[in-house]
């Protein structure tokens, strides 16, 4: 096949790779598809076969490297953005329920947050924990959390409580 028609082959390869990206989880084929389309443009403008391959490899590699760097920075939060928090890092600010009332001199209790039960202590200035109280995680120290009582229940939750329940303002 003559080199004059190579832009059609590059275009077909680019389109196939971009479509294949839809069916793969890696987010890599898209950049090779864009590289193939760049090579198709170079071929259409009269660049030689060697220049087309060099452009294909350079564009594909550069876009793959840049996207990986951007994604890693975005999802790990290294660029100063909030990023995604998981595990214990996501606890501060979350609402939990006291499942074990305070005991002992340190007022140690148990709070369920995200389906896990944590050893909990009332934050400075807070009263001992009572089973059923809603609390907000203030901080995490080691394997223990320090909590403050959450504000009053929203009106839509108060109507769901059984008659005479005392948690309306806790």
Question: Which pTM was predicted?
Answer: 0.46
Range from 10-19, 85-94, 151-160 carrying the lowest mean pLDDT: 151-160
Is the pLDDT score of 83 beyond 60? no
Considering 28, 44, 76, which residue would you say is the last residue of a domain? 76
Assigned domain for 71 exists? yes
Encode pLDDT of 12-65 as tens digits. Answer: 999 999 999 999 877 789 999 999 999 999 999 999 999 999 999 999 999 999
- Domain with 114, as residue range(s), is 87-169
The mean of the pLDDT values for the chain is: 83
Assigned domain for 81 exists? no
Q: How many CB atoms lie within 10 A of CB 114?
A: 12
Assigned domain for 122 exists? yes
Same domain as 158, residue 91 = yes
> Residue 110's domain is classified under what CATH number?
2.40.50.140
Q: How many domains does the chain have?
A: 2
Sorted by sequence, the CB contacts under 8 Å of residue 144 that are 6+ apart come out as 118, 119, 120, 121
């Amino acid at each position: 096949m003559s080199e004059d028609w190579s832009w059609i082959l590059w275009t077909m390869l680019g389109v196939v790779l971009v479509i294949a990206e839809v069916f793969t989880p890696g987010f890599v084929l898209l950049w090779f598809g864009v590289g193939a389309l760049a090579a198709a443009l170079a071929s259409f403008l009269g660049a030689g076969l060697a220049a087309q391959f060099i452009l294909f490899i350079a564009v594909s590699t550069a876009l793959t490297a840049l996207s990986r760097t951007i994604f890693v920075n975005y999802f790990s939060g290294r660029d100063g953005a909030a990023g995604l928090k998981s595990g214990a890092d996501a606890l501060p600010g979350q609402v939990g329920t006291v499942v074990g009332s305070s005991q002992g001199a340190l007022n140690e209790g148990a709070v369920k947050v995200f389906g896990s039960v944590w050893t909990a202590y009332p934050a400075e200035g807070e009263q001992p924990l009572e089973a059923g109280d809603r609390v907000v995680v203030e901080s995490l120290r080691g394997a223990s959390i320090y909590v403050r009582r959450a504000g009053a229940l929203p009106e839509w939750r108060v109507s769901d409580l059984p008659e005479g329940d005392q948690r309306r303002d806790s």
